[in-house]
Structure 1
Amino acid sequence: MVVAVLQGSVRTERMGDRAAKWVVSQLQKRGHEAVVVDAAALDLPLLDKMWKEVKTDGSIDSASLRMKLAQIAELYARADGYVVVSGEYNHSIPPALTNLIDYFLEEYAFRPSAIVCYSAGPYGGVRAAMQLRALLPEVGLPTIPSLQPIPSIGSSLSAQGVALTQDLAEKSGKFFDEFDWYMRAMKAEREKGVPY
């Protein structure tokens, strides 16, 4: 399976890259192709036009944006699922993550999403996850029932994305099992055709 891993924090001292690296390693262990879509690396402007509008806009100003978004669109066309890695900003979603998600719509259809949330404190970013539960299905990405929170991320994951706690190292398997099941089920149904 092909999985797009959306990383939304753009802060200079962010911890989300630890979580994204950990997610990629967990997916690769299961034989999946995991590709990180990093809002910080992309440096997308604040949404003015969605991908479907940008790709038909012939202006010189949008040529660079078209190139960036075309690469993402190619990945999304192959994707069987999405893992959204989100920190918690003021009990909500990082603005760059929302911006990244909003550039696309049809590309997400009939593919599951899984939420990996984190924070520096004990709650693991679950308040941001609740906001994502509202946003993701609206753009066509139904979320799997389980969440994977990572509390105290600085001491839970190394800079290389290696789990430093027994809970994270040993108890995350069910989360990824569930995500695998949803990807397989939805891929099988997409191959039969979709309602629209």
Structure 2
Amino acid sequence: MDKKILVFYGSYRSGRMGVRLVEFLLEKFKQRGEAVELIDAKVIDLPMLDRMYKEYLPGKAPQRLQELADKIRAADGFVFVTGEYNWGMQPGLKNLTDHFLEEWFWRPAAIVSYSAGRLSGARASIAWHATLSEMGMVVVSSTIEVGSIAHTLTAEGAPIGEGGKALEHVFPRFADDLMWWVEASEAQRRQKKPPY
């Protein structure tokens, strides 16, 4: 297959637990033969949105913004890994995402959520679904939700316990759903130019 999948992660907190989930996803996509890359909002550290990428004159956008725009345009699909903060989205991930618009168009996205609460970030997942759809992505119906990451994954992202078994069980369907849409959108773009 060897499709280019970008995995976006948005926590800025010290002692980030969600990075374990990111490591799990990166390894699983690699095992499937996909070209997967992490886009970590904390590492990229874009300023609070002042100007979108498209609002800069050609060649005048900050280098890290230009590089990220190029990566997004070259990707076949996206995975957004989000924690839930007070029933809502992580601000770091939302800020990174909002710097772009047309770069996202006509590609599928999938959502993976987590929280310490019993709903495993489901409310953030619902909020992301509407946002990503509005930004021109096709959001796949399969999601992954993880509750207590410390009881589900080791620090290196290896599954442990019952939570780890459940995560291993749901990943194949999640990945199959995303990759089906990746292949479908790629085939459609080959035969017909997007309408705008």
TM-score normalised to structure 2 length: 0.92
* SS of aligned partner of 1:172: helix
1:9-41 deviations in Å (ceiling 9; x for gaps): 111121121111111111111111111111100
Select the residue among 134, 137, 144 that pairs with 1:138: 134
Q: Is the 8 A contact 1:120 1:154 kept in 2?
A: no
What letter matches 2:124 in structure 1?
A
1:111-151 deviations in Å (ceiling 9; x for gaps): 00000101122221111001001100111112101111011
Q: Relative to 1, partners in 2 of residues 1:127 and 1:74: Cα closer, same or farther, differing over 3 Å? A: same
Question: 70-79 vs 87-96, which deviates more?
Answer: 70-79
Q: Is the 8 A contact 2:12 2:42 kept in 1?
A: yes
What letter matches 2:170 in structure 1?
K
For 1:38-187, list aligned pairs within 5 A.
38-54=40-56, 56=58, 58=60, 66-164=62-160, 165-187=164-186
For residues 181 and 130 of structure 1, the distance between their equivalents in structure 2, rounded to whole angstroms, comes to: 22
For residues 86 and 120 of structure 1, the distance between their equivalents in structure 2, rounded to whole angstroms, comes to: 12
Question: CA offset at residue 180 of structure 1?
Answer: 0.9
Match of 1:14 in 2: 16
Question: CA offset at residue 2 of structure 1?
Answer: 0.2
For residues 71 and 37 of structure 1, the distance between their equivalents in structure 2, rounded to whole angstroms, comes to: 11
* SS of aligned partner of 2:24: helix
Question: CA offset at residue 56 of structure 1?
Answer: 3.9
For residues 59 and 86 of structure 2, the distance between their equivalents in structure 1, rounded to whole angstroms, comes to: 35
For residues 50 and 108 of structure 1, the distance between their equivalents in structure 2, rounded to whole angstroms, comes to: 13
Q: Is the 8 A contact 1:121 1:152 kept in 2?
A: yes
1:72-128 deviations in Å (ceiling 9; x for gaps): 112112100000000000111001111010001111110000001011222211110
Q: Is the 8 A contact 1:7 1:86 kept in 2?
A: yes
Q: Structure 1 residue runs of 4+, over 6 Å off?
A: none
Q: Relative to 1, partners in 2 of residues 1:55 and 1:41: Cα closer, same or farther, differing over 3 Å? A: farther
Question: CA offset at residue 6 of structure 1?
Answer: 0.6
Question: CA offset at residue 162 of structure 1?
Answer: 1.3
Q: Is the 8 A contact 2:144 2:170 kept in 1?
A: no
Which runs of no fewer than 5 residues in structure 2 stay unpaired? none
Question: CA offset at residue 71 of structure 1?
Answer: 1.3
For residues 46 and 57 of structure 1, the distance between their equivalents in structure 2, rounded to whole angstroms, comes to: 21
Match of 2:29 in 1: 27
Match of 1:5 in 2: 7
Alignment RMSD = 1.4
Question: CA offset at residue 166 of structure 1?
Answer: 1.1
Between Structure 1 and Structure 2, how many residues are aligned? 190
What letter matches 1:8 in structure 2?
G
